[in-house]
Amino acid sequence: MSAASTDTRDAARRPGASGASRIALRALHLLLLPLVLIGAWWLASAVTGLYYLPTPGEIAATFVEVWGAERLAADVLPSIGRLIGGFTLGSVLGVALGVVLGLSARLRAVLEPVLEFFRAIPPPVLVPLLMLFMGVNTTMKLAVIVSGCIWPILLNTIEGVRAVDPVLIDTCRCYGVRGRRWLTTLVLRSASPQIMAGMRQGLSIAIILMVISEMFASSSGLGYTIIQFQRSFAIPEMWSGILLLGLLGFGLSVLFGLAERRVLYWYNGVRAAARGE
């Protein structure tokens, strides 16, 4: 009797236990290395006592202190606003131009070498140039971001539009699908994997440009604040700024990943189907 009851209890517990251990393993996968790294940092800074290497605890405490509501409103949010504004504008322009160029072989042939050259120019050199043009203001910072992030988006859109399946083009012609519906249902959707790939590259360039345009030519914003901390040897503050930029990059990448998963749901499905899953 007691043996039987132990058996059933075991049987009931076993799947639960293995589930729990799976979750524990996942958590370990997720957290072990970050914890080890933070620990190692702590140890290193405690042992060496280097002035430029504050402990993680110090950085965390400074982070909370430095990036309070006031600085958030004055420096961080305007920077993020410009970043998103510039990136959006660059994406719209890049996709629009890319569609036009992708559809016209002749125009493409004429402009391709020029575009290839513009794409090859490292975008940061645009910062001094546009400062010259426009002085130091919001328009200039936006222009820097737009003119840097537009190229990968533009060129990838061209590739994507060129790669639209000819059978789908014929299908649309047969069924009289044209005009706006043709553009949105056929061309843009079909090019969306390349457009998203271009936008991902454009986003990381936009972040770089947001930061350095403020480091190089500004008296406010995230980049400016961080470089000021470094200049005044406010080391834990500087580290907290680096941490904030890191979190910003990570957060935007996560958001973009979510958007990408939505937009390219069909594309991932097609690929999985082709793999035979």
Partner 1 sequence: MKTDTAENARPPARPSGAGGRPRVPRRSPNRAVLGIVGVVGFLLLWEAVPRIGLIPARFLPPASEVLAALGERLVLPEFWTAVGDTVLTWGIGLGIAFAAASLLGFAVGSVPVLRAFTHSTVEFLRPIPSVALIPLAILLYGTDMASTLLLVVYAAFWQIYIQVLYGVSDIDPVAEQTARSYGLGRLSRLRYIAWPSALPYVLTGLRLGAAVALILTITGQLIIGTPGLGQQISVAKNSDATELVYALIIATGALGVAVNVGVRALERRALRWHASVRGEEIA
Partner 2 sequence: MLDVTGLQKIYPGQQGEVEALRDLTFDLGEGELACLVGPSGCGKTTLLKCIAGLMRPSSGSVVLAGTSVTGPPPDMAVVFQEYGRSLFPWLRVRDNVELPLKEKKLPKQRRRELSDEALDAVGLLKSADAYPWQLSGGMQQRVAIARAIAYEPRVLLMDEPFAAVDAQTRADLEDLIRTLWKRFSMTVLFVTHDIDEAVYLGERVLVMSSSPTIIQDDVTIDLPDERDQINTRGEHRFAELRTRIYAEIRNASQSATAQPQEAGKAH
Binding positions for partner 2, 109-168, rule CB under 8 A: 165, 167-168
All residues at 6 or more sequence positions from 131 whose CB lies less than 8 Å from its CB, including other chains: 140, 216, 217
Burial class (CB in 10 A: 0-12, 13-18, 19+), 269: exposed
Indicate whether 3 belongs to the interface with partner 2 (CB under 8 A). Answer: no
d(CA 142, CA 208): 13
Closer residue to partner 1, CB minimum distance, 72 or 255: 255
204's CB contacts (< 8 A; 6+ apart) are 249
Stretch that binds partner 2, among 24-32, 38-46, 67-75, 266-274 (CB under 8 A): 266-274
Residue 161 CB partners (closer than 8 Å, separation 6+): 98, 99, 101, 102, 103, 187, 190, 191
Those residues with Cβ within 8 angstroms of residue 193's Cβ, 6 or more apart along the chain or in another chain = 160, 264, 267
CB of 165 to partner 2, least distance (A): 5
Candidates 176, 231, 262, 276: give the one binding partner 2 (CB under 8 A): 176
Residue 133 lies near partner 1 (rule: CB under 8 A): yes
44 binds, among partner 1, partner 2, none (CB under 5 to 8 A by kind): none
Binders of partner 1 among residues 31 to 50 (CB under 8 A) are: 31-34, 37
The interface partner of residue 189, options being partner 2, partner 1, none and the CB cut-off 5 to 8 Å by kind, is partner 2
**Nearest-approach distance from CB 117 to partner 1, in angstroms:** 5
27 binds partner 2 (CB under 8 A): no
Instruction: Confirm or reject binding of residue 258 to partner 1 (CB under 8 A).
Output: no
271 binds partner 1 (CB under 8 A): yes
| 177 contact choice in partner 2, partner 1, none (CB below 5 to 8 Å, kind-dependent) | partner 2
Give yes or no for residue 57 binding partner 2 (CB under 8 A): no
Q: Which of these ranges, 2-10, 90-98, 177-185, 236-244, lies near partner 1 under the rule CB under 8 A? A: 236-244
Is residue 277 close enough to count as binding partner 2 by CB under 8 A?
Answer: no
Q: Does 189 bind partner 2 (CB under 8 A)?
A: yes
Closer by beta carbon to partner 1, 24 or else 30: 30
Residues forming contacts to partner 2 in the complex (CB under 8 A) are 165, 167-168, 170-171, 173-178, 181, 185-186, 189-190, 192, 266-267, 269-270, 273
